[in-house]
Amino acid sequence: MGCGASVPNGKGRKRRSVVQEVAVFIPTIRVPVATDVVQPLRGLVSKELVDRLATLRTNVVALAEDIYHGDMSAVSELQRALEEYLPVVLGLTAKESRLEASVQFNWRTIDDDKDCCLASAWYEVLSVVHMMAMLALFEANLKLIPRDGQNGIEKKVSEDSKKDVVDSLLRASGCLDYSVHHILVKIPAQTKKGFPSYLQEGMLEAISIQSLAQCVEIQLGLASDCEKATLSVKRRLACEQVSYFSKAHYCLSGCDTSDSYGKKLLLFLNWKCMDAKVPRITTQTLKLLICDIINTMLHLITFQAVAYYYHALVLDKGSEPTNHISAVCCLSAADDLLAESKRACLSFCLANPITRSD
């Protein structure tokens, strides 16, 4: 199972030996395994079409082999290859062609090297779209954890880069949502029994909604840095973030999460649910807030300051004594949740495979 990683490239260096840094959670990346598509289709379709299908798939296999160590250009090149291959393999799913089960398509999970081979063109389509979604998440993580190529020093993420990340996350969410509502429904139940756990409907829905939650998380950060953004806007974004992460967690309730992949995903969503409810602010900032110096401190709030905190700010703007008491209660609750969030983050980071958060 892969978590979003951004590490310096190194020859002969295996990804599993590196403690990866996670800004955007990437559940797993699956790559296609070389498959003979020519022999099963010979005589059934034109030689030109068979050769084109084989050539495009071989290209995807070659580009995907070392994608974990790839940079932005490598990810973009692989995305283009998948986009070129997808419409061709879709031709095998047409009912009139009767070719849907003619080829055994094989895919492998990079982290554990487990293969899943099924005679289903719809399985191949699902795998391609799933990989496009995972690459979009991988791309988002690379943008949020930029490195200096020579010394590995972390660089500041620009506002434009954050907006690009939102686009990548929306693209990933859209791919997964399409997979659930337009591809899975085409696949017979008997075929789906052979699917790995990470292709379960609930899993795909959870990652789709998680992507939306992280979109809102970034938008909240941009709003926190914007002087024109009102408290009500920030509070609304904060509440949306909590809602999305909670929905993603709920989607897993009917899924098999007993393997390391499922456990890691549950721990991530549990952490983000906690993290979305609390701010990261200093004790001194809290004292100033309670002393009615609220407006002057807004610029100190980090992008993860959320529901309880902004609600406290709104309450503390009131003139009644009860407003101030309620504000203090909200800030106290946020402080308790912060400690719980830190514990959830630690549990996620220590779960296999070991990672570190941004």
List the beta strands (DSSP E) in 47-201.
105-109, 115-118
- Asked if 212 and 237 touch (Cβ cutoff 8 Å), the reply is no
Position 290 scores a pLDDT of 43
* CA 40 to chain CA centroid, nearest Å: 36
Position 214 scores a pLDDT of 94
User: Could you check whether the bond before residue 146 is cis, i.e. omega within 30 degrees of 0?
Assistant: no
268 falls within a domain: no
- C-alpha separations of 92 from 87, 89, 107, 133 in Å: 9, 6, 18, 22
107 falls within a domain: yes
- Tell me the CB-side half-sphere exposure of residue 137, using CA atoms within 13 A: 31
Whole-model pTM: value is 0.77
Position 350 scores a pLDDT of 61
Both structure tokens of 273: 């649910």
206 falls within a domain: no
Position 69 scores a pLDDT of 79
Position 137 scores a pLDDT of 95
Tell me whether strands 105-109 and 20-22 are parallel, antiparallel or unpaired. Answer: unpaired
Position 39 scores a pLDDT of 94
138 falls within a domain: yes
Position 11 scores a pLDDT of 39
The proportion of the chain whose per-residue pLDDT surpasses 70, expressed as a percent, equals: 68
- Asked if 24 and 214 touch (Cβ cutoff 8 Å), the reply is yes
Which amino acid, one-letter code, is at 77? E
14 falls within a domain: no
Position 6 scores a pLDDT of 41
Nearest of 309, 357, 316 to residue 335 by alpha carbon: 309
306 falls within a domain: no
Residues (pLDDT < 50) of the chain are: 1-18, 149-150, 280-306, 308, 315-316
- Asked if 28 and 149 touch (Cβ cutoff 8 Å), the reply is no
- C-alpha separations of 142 from 1, 9, 30, 165, 237 in Å: 17, 13, 18, 9, 24
73 falls within a domain: yes
Q: Could you tell me which residues come within 8 angstroms of residue 141 by beta carbon, excluding any fewer than 6 positions away?
A: 4, 5, 6, 22, 23, 24, 26
pLDDT tens per residue, range 182-204: 999 999 999 998 898 889 999 99
- C-alpha separations of 199 from 106, 113, 114, 131, 222 in Å: 14, 16, 14, 11, 33
Both structure tokens of 157: 């993420």
Q: Domain residues for 67?
A: 24-142
Number of domains the chain is built from: 1
352 falls within a domain: no
Q: Which residues of 212-229 are buried (b: 16+ CB within 10 A; e: fewer)?
A: bbbbbbbbbbebbeeeeb
